[in-house]
Structures are given as C-alpha cells and as structure tokens.
C-alpha cells in the first residue's frame, strides 16, 4: 500500500499549522472563494441598482461604497491570489518534481497575511467603508473622503506582503528545487506563467506598499505629497498607483494563461505549438507590462509626450498575448479534441480574452480613449479580461485539477452546463456594457439617463445567470467530495508530472526522487504514463 495521501491526517490544527504546500493551497482556495462571494454580493447590489435609471436602492454615497468594496475585494483578495496562491502552491512543487516549496513556513505565513488583511479590510468596508473606488485617487482619498481610508489601506498593505512572499517562494522554488533533468525548457508552461507572475508580484507590490503608506500619511498628517497647496502633485499618486496596478492586471491574467496552456494541450492530446514562443511571451508580458501604466492617465493631465510613449508601448504589450492566442489555436488544429468540462472553460477563456484584449487596443489609442475613458467601455473591457478570461481560467483550473486535489470525480454534465451558463451569462452581462460605453454612459454612476435603461436591464439579467453559474459548482464540486467516484491517477490522459502521482498525492508528492528525461507535453504514443 502506498504512502497515505496529504489529506489523511485529520483535525483543525493539522490544517492551521500545516507546512504542506498542498494543504496551504486548499486553505487559500477556501479563503479566495469566500472573498469571491463577498465581492460578488457587492456586484449584485450594483447590478440591482442599475436596473432602473434612478438611484433607488442605494444613495449616491452608498453606491460609491458598494463599487469600492467590489473592486477592493475582487482585485486584492480574489483575483491576485486566486491562481498563484491556490494552483501555484499546489502544483509548482509537483510539476517540477520537488517535495515542497522552498520556504514552507513562509508559505503558511503568507496565507495568514492574506486572511488577516482580507478580514480586516472586509470589516472596515462593511463598517461604513470607503467611497474612493478601489483606485484611491487623490485628493479625494487623502483630503475629502470621510470613510475608513486608513483601515482599508492597512488591510491591503498587509495582503500585499502575502503577495510578495508568495512570489519570492515561487521564484526560489523554481530556481533551486527542479528535479534532475527538469531543465527550463522542459517545464510546463504553467510554471513559466507563474514564474513571470511572481516576478511581477515581487517587483510591483512594494511600490503599492509605499503608495498606500504615503496616502495614509497624507490622510492622517496632511503631509502634502499629493496636495497642490503644499506643492504636491495629485497626478504623482496616479503614477505610483498605476505603476503597481497595471502590472497587477498582468498578475491576474498571466496565471490563467498558464492554465489555458495546460488545458489546451490536455484537451487536444497534443504538444503545444511553439513552446519557446509561449514560454518567452509570458516573460515579455511581464517586462513590457511594467512600462505601460500611463495609459490609465491619458485624460488626467499627463504630458502629451508621455502619453504618446505609453500608447505605443501599450500596443506593443498586446503582441506577446496575441502570440499565445495564435499558438493555442495552432495547438488545437488537427488535435484529438475531447471537450470535457475544464476544456470548455479554456475555450471560453480564449474567446473572451481576445475580445477583451482587442478592446484594450481601442483604449490604448489616444484619440479613442479620450471618448471612452471613464465610460462603461472601460468597465466592459476589463471585465472581459478579469472575469471572462481570468475567472474562466480559474474555473477551468478548478475543474481540471479537482480530481488531483481531492481525489474525486465530479459530474461532467453539470460542469459543462456551468461552463455554458458562464459563457452566456457573461456575454449578456458585459457585452451591452461596451455599447453603453460607446453611447456615453459614465462609470461609477448610480443614476443614469433613461435612454440607457434597456442595455442595463440586459446586463443585470445576464448577471443573474452568471451568478447562478458561479453558485452551481458549490453543489456538484462539494457534492463530489461525498458522493463522487474516486479519481484515477490520470483521468484526462494528460502529460505532466502531476498526472503520474496518485490522486490525491501523498504527503511528500513523490515516493522516490524523480528524474526527468522527457520533454514537456509529451503526447507521443511511446510516452510513459506510469506512476513516478
């Protein structure tokens, strides 16, 4: 009988004091799911309010607090930790042939930081909250806001360290703990994506830290860094904030892209087309993504010359993303495609990401952004990427690796129904918002011109379908824990080290040290699928 699985030991302390990367991943999963629904509740309030043109459900100030809560929770406590901290933690050591992450205690500490920061922020947001939007623009946040700005900032600051430590852990793990024979060019593309994400986590988050610190200092002590009366510059805040927050959106999308590379190859039982291109494109996105932050400030009074440079660079950053999309499509071409539930999510990702990405190019164009900035066009664009693509990526990962993580199979029928509902609900929710933005409806308004009502009603109807789709997995995934069939080692017939250990894996992942002598995505007929 082989070694007991990592889930064998019972008791609360075995979870709260665990040093096992797989258990920590599950802790993160529960945590981010909780925050997803908290943020989703705020979204529900927003969409219900927007069914009617008048502000009836919420006051203007209440609406401000609602979308702030939605943004803060979704960005920092769901999207950023979602794939790196859940699937990164679970899969990185197994995929590279290691027994655990490089710094297991730091890993557990990172989780506590996220949990603590998140609960603190949620508490502050619920006890009155903040009306500044998740972007905390000055001088509203520093001088005029009468909300719990400093409290929310503290929570986000703490969670930022969770990001930084997770990033450090992942980078060091990938550098030092690869099994013999696991060269860089044999790594699964998920690892490349998570590695690039970790570079961004490590280098961008500190700038957020100092920015938040300065806002808190200004709010408390009137320091004047962003106050024109003392010679400060409100636009400087935007520079510092977006210097982090634009790379942050790449933190949110890159891991999902890594997931899609895994899903597409497993769906088509075929090697990825252009491995090196896809691998280096992740790095390119990370690098160029650091140079485009000014495209959030085109209408803020920024220097025209700077705007030109940022616009050009924003066009350039789309190229590596496009390379990925082309390579995925080429991989699917003439492949032996089986459309199980996870792969439907992968296809959803590709379609919605392309729409989101292309509309991003519209916004990168200075002349078009002048009209589209601060309208629902922008809202639709980033939701196509962050929800349509990134959340689809998360759900795809959930459905793909669930048998490995839990050792159970779930109902494929319900998984596929969810995927279809997500696709339809999402498009119904957010496509009308492109049209609304084009027609001129501003964002962050709780009351709007009655001419916009029809599209808003469509959007809210779509949101209700989307909400249903997001709730469904609770039933069939959690139900599988009780009633699901036991999962075999490799239910998808996929390549990769994680599919050659039992489901769920044993405590230290591998019975014996692994030696790697195969390329990534080895779907040739002679490829070995036996347990390592």
Partner 1 sequence: MSTANALKVYVGLLLLLAVEVLVALFWPRNSSLIMLAAAGQFLLLLIFYLGLYRHQGWVRLFGCLYLLWLLMMMVFILGETATR
Partner 2 sequence: MIRSDEKPAEPFVAWAQQREAARLGIWLFLATEAMMFGSLIMVAWLYRLQHPDGVAEAVAGLHWQLATANTFMLLTSSLLMTLALAASEQGNALRLRRCLLGAALLGVLFLACKGVEYGLEYREGLLPGFAEDSPLHLPSAHLFMNLYFIATALHAVHVLVAVGLGLWLYMRLAPDNLSARGTRTRLEMVTLYWHLVDGIWILLFPTLYLVGR
Residues forming beta bridges with residue 408, ordered by sequence position: 486
**517 binds, options partner 2, partner 1, none, Cβ within 5 to 8 A by partner type:** none
Task: Give the separation between CA 67 and CA 459, rounded to whole angstroms.
Answer: 16
Task: Give the separation between CA 337 and CA 226, rounded to whole angstroms.
Answer: 55
**301 binds, options partner 1, partner 2, none, Cβ within 5 to 8 A by partner type:** partner 1
The backbone torsions φ and ψ at residue 515, rounded to the nearest 5 degrees and listed phi first, read: -120, 135
Contact flag: residue 445 with partner 2 (CB under 8 A): no
| In the complex, least distance from residue 283 CB atom to partner 1, rounded to whole angstroms | 11
Contact flag: residue 211 with partner 2 (CB under 8 A): yes
Radius of gyration over every alpha carbon of the chain, rounded to an integer in angstroms: 23
Residue numbers 322-351 binding partner 2 by CB under 8 A = none
Nearer to partner 1, 309 or 435 (CB): 309
Q: What is the separation of C-alpha 218 from the centre of its chain, rounded to a whole number of angstroms?
A: 31
Q: Which of these ranges, 173-181, 296-304, 309-317, 369-377, lies near partner 2 under the rule CB under 8 A?
A: 173-181
Residues forming beta bridges with residue 5, ordered by sequence position: 506
**303 binds, options partner 1, partner 2, none, Cβ within 5 to 8 A by partner type:** partner 1
Q: Which of these ranges, 87-95, 97-105, 120-128, 289-297, lies near partner 1 under the rule CB under 8 A?
A: 289-297
Helix axes 104-126, 60-72, angle to 10 degrees: 170
Whether the bond between 504 and the residue before it is cis, its omega within 30 degrees of 0, is yes
Give SS3 for 496: coil
State the Cα torsion 333-334-336-341 to the nearest 10°: 30
**177 binds, options partner 2, partner 1, none, Cβ within 5 to 8 A by partner type:** partner 2
Task: Give the separation between CA 96 and CA 174, rounded to whole angstroms.
Answer: 7
Contact flag: residue 294 with partner 1 (CB under 8 A): yes
| In the complex, least distance from residue 287 CB atom to partner 1, rounded to whole angstroms | 8
Contact flag: residue 236 with partner 1 (CB under 8 A): yes
Task: Give the separation between CA 397 and CA 480, rounded to whole angstroms.
Answer: 16
Contact flag: residue 143 with partner 2 (CB under 8 A): no
Task: Give the separation between CA 450 and CA 103, rounded to whole angstroms.
Answer: 56
| In the complex, least distance from residue 397 CB atom to partner 2, rounded to whole angstroms | 23
Q: Which two tokens stand for residue 327?
A: 């390579």
Task: Give the separation between CA 21 and CA 243, rounded to whole angstroms.
Answer: 31
Residue numbers 220-259 binding partner 2 by CB under 8 A = 221-225, 227, 229-233, 236, 240, 243
Contact flag: residue 154 with partner 2 (CB under 8 A): no
Instruction: Give the residue, chosen from 41, 57, 154, 172, that forms a contact with partner 2 under the rule CB under 8 A.
Output: 172
Residue numbers 177-206 binding partner 1 by CB under 8 A = 203
Nearer to partner 2, 213 or 358 (CB): 213
Is there a contact between 352 and 396 (Cβ–Cβ < 8 Å)? no
| In the complex, least distance from residue 310 CB atom to partner 1, rounded to whole angstroms | 8
Is there a contact between 342 and 268 (Cβ–Cβ < 8 Å)? no
In the complex, the residues that contact partner 2 under the rule CB under 8 A are: 19, 93, 98-104, 164, 167-169, 171-172, 175-177, 202-207, 209-211, 213-214, 217, 221-225, 227, 229-233, 236, 240, 243, 508, 513
In the complex, the residues that contact partner 1 under the rule CB under 8 A are: 203, 233, 235-236, 239, 243, 290-291, 294, 301-306, 309
């Amino acid at each position: 009988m082989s070694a007991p699985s990592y889930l064998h030991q019972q008791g609360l302390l075995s979870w709260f004091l665990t040093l096992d990367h797989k258990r920590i991943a599950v802790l993160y999963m529960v945590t981010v799911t909780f925050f997803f629904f908290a943020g989703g509740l705020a979204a529900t309030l927003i969409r219900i309010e927007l069914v009617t043109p008048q502000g009836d459900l919420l006051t203007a100030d209440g609406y401000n607090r609602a979308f702030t809560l939605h943004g803060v929770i979704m960005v920092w406590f769901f999207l950023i930790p979602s794939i790196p901290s859940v699937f990164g933690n679970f899969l990185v050591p197994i995929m590279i042939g290691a027994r655990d992450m490089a710094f297991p205690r730091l890993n557990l500490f990172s989780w506590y930081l996220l949990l603590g920061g998140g609960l603190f922020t949620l508490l502050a947001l619920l006890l009155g909250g903040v009306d500044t939007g998740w972007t905390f623009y000055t001088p509203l946040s520093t001088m005029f806001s009468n909300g719990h700005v400093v409290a929310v900032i503290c929570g986000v600051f703490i969670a930022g360290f969770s990001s930084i430590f997770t990033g450090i852990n992942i980078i060091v793990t990938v550098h030092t703990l690869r099994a013999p024979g696991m060269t860089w060019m044999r790594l699964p593309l998920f690892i490349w994506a998570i590695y690039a994400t970790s570079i961004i986590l490590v280098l961008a988050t500190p700038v957020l830290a100092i920015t938040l610190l300065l806002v808190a200092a200004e709010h408390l002590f009137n320091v004047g860094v962003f106050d024109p009366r003392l010679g400060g510059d409100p636009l400087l805040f935007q520079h510092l904030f977006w210097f982090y927050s634009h790379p942050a959106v790449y933190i949110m999308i890159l891991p999902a892209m890594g997931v899609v590379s895994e899903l597409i190859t497993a769906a088509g039982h075929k090697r990825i087309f252009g491995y090196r291109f896809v691998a280096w494109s992740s790095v390119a996105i990370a690098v160029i993504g650091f140079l485009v932050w000014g495209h959030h400030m085109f209408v803020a009074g920024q220097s025209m010359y700077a705007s030109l440079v940022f616009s050009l660079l924003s066009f350039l950053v789309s190229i590596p993303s496009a390379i990925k999309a082309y390579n995925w499509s080429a991989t699917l071409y003439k492949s032996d495609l089986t459309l199980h539930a996870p792969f439907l999510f992968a296809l959803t990702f590709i379609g919605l990401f392309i729409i989101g990405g292309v509309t991003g190019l519209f916004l990168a164009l200075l002349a078009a952004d002048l009209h589209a900035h601060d309208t629902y066009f922008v809202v639709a664009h980033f939701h196509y990427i962050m929800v349509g693509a990134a959340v689809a990526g998360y759900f795809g990962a959930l459905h793909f690796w669930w048998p490995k993580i839990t050792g159970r199979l779930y109902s494929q029928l319900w998984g596929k129904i969810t995927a279809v509902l997500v696709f339809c609900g999402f498009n119904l929710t957010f496509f009308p918002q492109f049209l609304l933005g084009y027609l001129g409806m501003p964002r962050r308004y709780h009351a709007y011109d009655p001419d916009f009502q029809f599209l808003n009603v469509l959007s809210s109807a779509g949101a209700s379908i989307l909400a249903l789709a997001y709730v469904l997995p609770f039933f069939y995934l959690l139900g599988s824990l009780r009633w699901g069939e036991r999962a075999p080692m490799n239910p998808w017939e996929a390549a990769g080290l994680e599919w050659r250990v039992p489901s769920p894996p044993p405590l230290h992942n591998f019975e014996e040290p692994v030696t790697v002598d195969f390329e990534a995505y080895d779907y040739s007929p002679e490829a070995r699928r036996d347990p390592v």
